[in-house]
Amino acid sequence: MRITVVLAQFILLASPLPAQNARQPVRREDRATLDTAQDFNRRLEDLGASLARESSNAADYRIGADDVLEVSVFGAPELNHKVRVSAAGDISIPLIGSVEAAGLTARELERVLETKLRAYMNEPHVGVFVSSIESHPVSVIGEVTKPGVFQVRGPKTLLEMLSMAQGLTDNAGDKVIVMRGAGFGSEPHDGKDATGPDPPDQTSRAGETETASAADLAHQTVEVDLRLLLDTGNPAYNVPIYPGDIIKVTRAGIVYVVGGVKRPGGFTIQTNERMSLLKAVSLAEGLTPTAAKRKTRIIRTDELSGHRSEIPVDLGKVLAGKIPDVPLRAADIVFVPNSNSKSAFFKGTETAVATASGVVIFRPY
């Protein structure tokens, strides 16, 4: 009887208890709600944890210029040396002189040094440790929590670099731009040491099938859609990152709502969010009693030419469901004139643009 009780207690103690604060995995049906930076960072953390288990082995790291090495010789402490790899890729060691180190792993350099020391010692044993990596910089800028320059061991992926930058800020947009070889002092790469799919062509977006030639890889710019990167799980969007690359997370766009609304202002388009006319009016807390809904216009400026155009919209019919809702783009100005201000209608574009330039920008918290 006593044995049975003890066994039951052991089973209860060994059984995992449900953690109250355990993070639940994101279900496929919940993906449509991933519209904030916090949601993106949560998924980024989950994906980054699995990627960390597949990171490159430090033993495979190849030494580069400006790296700092600690060289130790067993039984000969006077030969122990801390050296920095020169811009030419070599190091200077007592007794031996100049030795080419760039392009070798630590283990390979140990063998080279042991071979050269045999002229002065019997069975030398050399240890090489890379104490500081300075030759493999990747810059992460823009709307990330911790922008900066990160030294990496071997090839990385976009998700790994975003995780190293501690995720996205609340103002992050839905695009990431990877500029190949744009860093100072970077050398062209051929992509042969990449993990994952080949980089897309320099004029294409991540996920397209065409690939660039090796000569073009150092000059291409890759645009990645964050929604596709985190929602689809397609590895084609998780592009490889090389030393010398610059990663820029774009800022979220802003839509302006002015005129006959209760809270005119600018509203940020959050990550993974589709802004529409009805949503913008809702963020502006609805219309005033004197709003001329039928005379609503969307003022849109072309990013390349700077040309400004007006799109007339009958907001009353949109609210009634008689015509479809209108999608908005970043920098659009929604102008709802007042019915008792006819002059504002005739000076619509100028008035709306001037008003939008001075409005308050609202961001959800």
Intrachain domains 34-56+135-251 and 254-362 with the same fold = yes
pLDDT, one tens digit per residue, over 32-84 is: 334 566 777 777 776 655 554 444 455 578 888 889 999 999 988 888 989 99
Strand 148-151 and strand 137-142: the pairing is antiparallel
Looking at residue 71, its pLDDT comes to: 93
Q: Is the pLDDT of residue 271 over 90?
A: no
Q: φ, ψ for residue 164 (rounded to 5)?
A: -65, -30
Q: In the predicted model, is pLDDT for residue 176 greater than 80?
A: yes
Q: Which amino acid is at 100?
A: E
What is the CATH code for 62-132? Answer: 3.30.1950.10
Residue 282 in this model has a pLDDT that exceeds 90 = yes
End-to-end CA distance of the chain: 59
Cα 28 to chain centroid, rounded: 22
Q: Which CATH architecture has domain 254-362?
A: Roll (3.10)
Residue environment code for 23-49, b if the CB has 16+ CB neighbours within 10 A, otherwise e: eeebeeeeeeebbbbebbbbbbeebbe
pTM of the full predicted structure? Answer: 0.59
Question: What is the percent of the chain where pLDDT is above 90?
Answer: 35
**Locate tokens 């308050």: which residue?**
360
CA distances from 134 to 32, 65, 149, 194, 292 (A): 41, 7, 10, 20, 62
User: What pLDDT is attached to residue 213?
Assistant: 45
Please say if the pLDDT value at position 110 is more than 90: yes
Chain centre distance of CA 123: 49
> How much is the average pLDDT of 150-166?
86
Nearest to 270 by CA among 258, 248, 286, 252: 252
Taking the C-alpha atoms of residue 295 and residue 314, their distance in angstroms, rounded to an integer, is 6
Three-state DSSP state, 249: strand
Decide if pLDDT at 1 tops 70.
no
d(CA 299, CA 265): 15
Q: Which two tokens stand for residue 62?
A: 């190849």
Ranges of each domain in the chain: 34-56+135-251, 62-132, 254-362
Mean pLDDT on 196-204: 42
pLDDT at residue 313 is higher than 80: yes
CA 88 to centroid of chain Cα atoms: 33
Give the confidence band of 273 by pLDDT, cuts at 50, 70, 90. Answer: low
If one compares 25 and 77, the residue with the highest pLDDT of the two is: 77
Q: Which residue has the higher pLDDT, 28 or 361?
A: 361
Question: What pLDDT digit, counting tens, does each position of 2-22 carry?
Answer: 444 444 443 444 444 444 443
We find that the CATH architecture of domain 34-56+135-251 is Roll (3.10)
